[in-house]
Chain A
């Protein structure tokens, strides 16, 4: 049976339920969101004239859940408009909607009886091919499905999202004993491809993979801290970026999660794993119990392990709890030699940093060694109990806990044998299967061979090739397989098969430099000759954070206008070259696409953004204007939908151009690809890819689709408003200046933007060429480079990373 999910229903509109529903709409899936009916009418309800029959009252919980999801930070929805795909209802009146859906996800309260009762109703309504899942974070599938008929058992499994579902990559899929294999296969593929998640298949065990290992990881850290009498802020300085962990550290993260939530997870886990050799670790430390009693639960109660206050001078001060006295003291910035020297290796990646600490000599290194060894042993002992392979555990920790490396990758980083030696010194019980592995001279858990990546399988006692998915293009693998066609230090052109090439940027933050621009031109030459088309994309966190402003500043301070002009010319020409290449160029932005990066993304013939694309023309922040064709492309995008003749007939373009002006003058950055479309940076007719892993492959498919009948775009003429736009802009700027929304210099820069967008000195309704607008961009850019306040802004940005409002 071929499965397909177009409509879904989420049962339970709590934080997770509503956020899952929101993410489904991000993927374009219609969704019903149901919850129970409120217990009774309040006086306020009665005063409003509501009765027990009013849908407003009956659907209140689902409505409130949706409203909260709309308000959530970070945002659950790509665009608030997506909420229109959600239909709210209640279990009593609307369960019949389930007859019409392809997927039911249960996310009600963690109570077995309640879940069972709800599913017994669901079972009678859903279609036989409907997939039914639970988002429980701990209750076993076999208990929930105990009373199911055989049909539903075949369709039932766990789909455990991590919070917040839009942003966390991990999704644990937990098949039940009788779940049909094709259902598991389909859901894995669906969650990866359509929802953009990373799936880890978990056994039906308490807390599944991520939270089992994660809970141990935290308990392990807390116990070691107490043992070694370190402070909380000290632990957070050690188990942090230098160990490839989130900068918030163990306790900073717990403050975000909430101590009560953490306590519940620990308690439940303790009860559920009587045979776990580390069970006693899941007894929560006394001081943390005290904190829960005092309702010091973290950010939600404004105090947890940390607390922010203000001193007498109004400066904010970070306090940290002293677990001996239960008093808050000023948090320090603890420094450890091993951590500092590890951080110096940050450019070499997490593995190098972790190794540095692991081999350090101070107390931080001592703690880190024992902490990591404990983690290694615990993780190894959990295979195959919770996951068939080590890969599942590594992925779960990377995708669900934001660890740079999973436990086995970390183990490889410090050396498997070296770590075992440390374990022996620390008198730890080294897992036999690891000793056996080393005895047989398997020295690492992962191994890169010519035909791909291998992992060590404990049950097969040998390396097993990692299954590759043809839809996951890994540029580094291709490059090691001699697929690099050309390249320099800033960018590479990689053959990604089927005649398509991918232009990959690889500078720091993918900032634009001369090498990158040179590679655009070179790639265009090569692709025009030898390929059917090109994807511009990369695996970096950010597509491109914009131009290298340091170089701009150097040239501006030297007054080297020729060099600046050359640089602007080079970027404009490279962008125009991509746009008008005889072969299709598809840009694939993800993460930040700012300033020049945004301009590059705008100059493909098509753009396939990843859902999490944060795009904007932010140049005014450093006192500049977009001069790589950004103003030009935005003017074009705002007006290209106008049919022939309407400009001549008097079409008022005021709102179109004021929107463009606002975007640039206020440096508006989208919070998603969908919002980039609403702002006008990306055409609304484009698609969005939710899978970062398959992003480049998706873009490649677009190239392949286009190349069969490709005709490069005709040069366009853009209708502008001439000086009338400047009159409008002046009126707006005056109000913004006097309303303190703009500084004098902001206005000065914004005027340049208005001048460019107006098309220069011409009448309203004039059609200008792209070249004319590019020339206006260049002229304004160069004149601003010569201004002291622009140079001050650039300098400030380089020094502080923040914009200067001078």
Chain B
């Protein structure tokens, strides 16, 4: 069996919902720029050598529809011989794409694949534009509710596992602090592909005009923040609830991609592999508490690899909600590692955003570049998944 290695991993900056840098830019437009930016970093690779593009997307419709993978392969100017597909496993779609690419290359069915994820949450509503839950399913009778709102699941986790409001708010605050420090230190510069974004304004003579500008920095970070201000917020999901805008992930727009190939191809064109996705696992759980997913997926993938958390140098555990992320950290015994900065070292989705289908690929780019800086050996990307699942992948640096 062949191996699959990652030679480059990049992302766009995360743009906050509706008011961020990508609010008026089409998802395909910025995704293509990230793709081109990735390819530009590996000039030795001939475009016709790219066999396939696999794109994760949680709501593949509207501008993300019509098989986004194929739309992007053509849109990025790759030859028509480069194929494209779209995969959807909601919040893990981005890493799922990388896992699928890895498996395909390892099977010997492809030499070079670009894999990643794209999501515009500004343009496509949660649940999609046309939501049609099955009217005949009776969730009161105990059938798992795959349509449950994410906020309710987060409230459930907080209530059932006694994650206090104060702990959640502190976690949210720390996420923002870490992200702010990381941006200030320029840590994200290397992994970020600046994109030319669009905005519409009204000119002096009253005409509406389209403008272009460079978008290159995550724009959702809320710093400085104060715990007492956060404590005043009310839950939009539940009367008297504790899950708020300040301790939940931000809805965000973004794209991220990695370039994968066989080690032989890398050698042939003279690029140095940086890492491989060594193991990947998905675990199912109750949809009503979907956020606990990482607490099942991480042990599952560790067992597969014959490793323990001690063997992992850095974790990126997606912060869909402080309640579920904190729960997972506690359940895995990672509280000290979190404090030490080994878990979500540069902040998480509460500060940097959670562009659903892009997130797995975005966290991969963040993790690989962090491990490069730290000269670490192994890292994990993990997240909970709407509908009740968790995903986790172990990356090994080469």
C-alpha gap A741/B131 in the complex (Å): 22
User: Are B239 and A739 interface neighbours, CB within 8 A?
Assistant: yes
C-alpha gap A383/B130 in the complex (Å): 70
The proximity string for B residues 134-162 relative to A, scoring 1 for CB distances below 8 Å and 0 otherwise, is 11110100000101110110011000000
Known: A724-B135, A727-B135. A654 touches B130 (CB 8 A): yes
From B127, which residue of chain A is reached at the shortest CB distance? A731
Q: Is A734 an interface residue (CB 8 A)?
A: yes
Q: Is A740 an interface residue (CB 8 A)?
A: yes
Q: Within A644-683, which residues are at the interface with B (CB < 8 Å)? A: 652, 654
Most A Cβ at <10 Å: residue of B132, B149, B156, B239: B132
Q: Is A738 an interface residue (CB 8 A)?
A: yes
From A726, which residue of chain B is reached at the shortest CB distance? B135
C-alpha gap A740/B134 in the complex (Å): 23
C-alpha gap A730/B139 in the complex (Å): 9
Residues of A within 8 A of B240 (CB): 740
User: Are A727 and B132 interface neighbours, CB within 8 A?
Assistant: yes
The proximity string for A residues 174-215 relative to B, scoring 1 for CB distances below 8 Å and 0 otherwise, is 000000000000000000000000000000000000000000
User: Are A727 and B133 interface neighbours, CB within 8 A?
Assistant: yes
Q: Within A686-736, which residues are at the interface with B (CB < 8 Å)? A: 723-724, 726-728, 730-731, 734-735
User: Are A731 and B147 interface neighbours, CB within 8 A?
Assistant: yes
Residues of B within 8 A of A654 (CB): 130-131
Name B155's contact: one of A726, A734, A739, A741 (CB within 8 Å): A739
The proximity string for B residues 66-102 relative to A, scoring 1 for CB distances below 8 Å and 0 otherwise, is 0000000000000000000000000000000000000
Q: Is B237 an interface residue (CB 8 A)?
A: yes
User: Are A739 and B241 interface neighbours, CB within 8 A?
Assistant: yes
How far, in Å, is B239 (CB) from chain A's closest CB?
Answer: 4
Known: A740-B238, A740-B239. A723 touches B152 (CB 8 A): no
Q: Is B308 an interface residue (CB 8 A)?
A: no
User: Are B129 and A731 interface neighbours, CB within 8 A?
Assistant: no
How far, in Å, is B125 (CB) from chain A's closest CB?
Answer: 10
The proximity string for A residues 723-759 relative to B, scoring 1 for CB distances below 8 Å and 0 otherwise, is 1101110110011001111000000000000000000
Residues of B within 8 A of A727 (CB): 132-136
User: Are B132 and A735 interface neighbours, CB within 8 A?
Assistant: no
User: Are A735 and B131 interface neighbours, CB within 8 A?
Assistant: no
User: Are A730 and B152 interface neighbours, CB within 8 A?
Assistant: no
From B237, which residue of chain A is reached at the shortest CB distance? A739
Residues of A within 8 A of B237 (CB): 735, 739
Residues of B within 8 A of A740 (CB): 238-241
The proximity string for A residues 618-662 relative to B, scoring 1 for CB distances below 8 Å and 0 otherwise, is 000000000000000000000000000000000010100000000
Name A738's contact: one of B133, B136, B152 (CB within 8 Å): B152
Residues of B within 8 A of A738 (CB): 148, 152, 155-156, 238
From B241, which residue of chain A is reached at the shortest CB distance? A739
Known: A739-B241, A740-B240. A724 touches B132 (CB 8 A): yes
User: Are A734 and B145 interface neighbours, CB within 8 A?
Assistant: yes
User: Are A728 and B152 interface neighbours, CB within 8 A?
Assistant: no
Known: A727-B132, A727-B133, A739-B155. A734 touches B147 (CB 8 A): yes
Residues of A within 8 A of B152 (CB): 734-735, 738-739
Q: Within B301-337, which residues are at the interface with A (CB < 8 Å)? A: none
A-B contact count (CB 8 A): 53
The proximity string for A residues 18-43 relative to B, scoring 1 for CB distances below 8 Å and 0 otherwise, is 00000000000000000000000000
C-alpha gap A739/B148 in the complex (Å): 11
C-alpha gap A453/B232 in the complex (Å): 60
User: Are A734 and B148 interface neighbours, CB within 8 A?
Assistant: yes
How far, in Å, is A398 (CB) from chain B's closest CB?
Answer: 42
Q: Within B165-218, which residues are at the interface with A (CB < 8 Å)? A: none
C-alpha gap A723/B133 in the complex (Å): 10
C-alpha gap A741/B237 in the complex (Å): 9
Name B132's contact: one of A728, A734, A739 (CB within 8 Å): A728
Name B135's contact: one of A723, A735, A739, A741 (CB within 8 Å): A723
User: Are A728 and B131 interface neighbours, CB within 8 A?
Assistant: yes
User: Are B131 and A731 interface neighbours, CB within 8 A?
Assistant: yes
C-alpha gap A738/B132 in the complex (Å): 20
Name A734's contact: one of B136, B139, B241 (CB within 8 Å): B139
User: Are B241 and A731 interface neighbours, CB within 8 A?
Assistant: no
Known: A735-B149, A735-B152, A738-B152. A730 touches B239 (CB 8 A): no
C-alpha gap A44/B160 in the complex (Å): 44
User: Are A731 and B133 interface neighbours, CB within 8 A?
Assistant: yes
C-alpha gap A739/B240 in the complex (Å): 9
C-alpha gap A731/B152 in the complex (Å): 12
From A738, which residue of chain B is reached at the shortest CB distance? B152
How far, in Å, is A752 (CB) from chain B's closest CB?
Answer: 15
User: Are B130 and A652 interface neighbours, CB within 8 A?
Assistant: yes
Residues of A within 8 A of B139 (CB): 730, 734
Known: A739-B237, A740-B239. A730 touches B129 (CB 8 A): no
Residues of A within 8 A of B137 (CB): 730
Residues of B within 8 A of A652 (CB): 129-130
Residues of B within 8 A of A726 (CB): 135
How far, in Å, is A674 (CB) from chain B's closest CB?
Answer: 26
How far, in Å, is B277 (CB) from chain A's closest CB?
Answer: 35
How far, in Å, is A581 (CB) from chain B's closest CB?
Answer: 38
C-alpha gap A726/B147 in the complex (Å): 13
Q: Within B218-242, which residues are at the interface with A (CB < 8 Å)? A: 237-241
C-alpha gap A171/B320 in the complex (Å): 56
From B139, which residue of chain A is reached at the shortest CB distance? A734
Q: Within A86-104, which residues are at the interface with B (CB < 8 Å)? A: none
C-alpha gap A740/B148 in the complex (Å): 14
C-alpha gap A734/B240 in the complex (Å): 17
Residues of A within 8 A of B133 (CB): 727-728, 730-731
Residues of A within 8 A of B130 (CB): 652, 654
Q: Within A121-146, which residues are at the interface with B (CB < 8 Å)? A: none
Most A Cβ at <10 Å: residue of B134, B135, B136, B147: B135
How far, in Å, is B314 (CB) from chain A's closest CB?
Answer: 36
C-alpha gap A740/B151 in the complex (Å): 13
C-alpha gap A741/B148 in the complex (Å): 15
From B235, which residue of chain A is reached at the shortest CB distance? A739
How far, in Å, is A734 (CB) from chain B's closest CB?
Answer: 6
Residues of B within 8 A of A741 (CB): 238-239
From A744, which residue of chain B is reached at the shortest CB distance? B140
Most B Cβ at <10 Å: residue of A654, A726, A739, A740: A739
For the complex with contacts A727-B135, A731-B133, A739-B155, 17 further pairs of A-B residues with Cβ separation under 8 Å are: A652-B130, A654-B131, A723-B136, A724-B132, A724-B135, A727-B133, A727-B134, A728-B131, A734-B147, A735-B149, A735-B152, A735-B237, A739-B149, A739-B151, A739-B152, A739-B239, A740-B238
8 A-B pairs whose Cβ atoms sit less than 8 Å apart in the complex: A726-B135, A730-B133, A734-B139, A734-B152, A735-B148, A738-B152, A741-B238, A741-B239
Closest 8 CB pairs of A and B: A727-B135, A739-B238, A740-B239, A727-B133, A726-B135, A723-B135, A735-B149, A731-B133
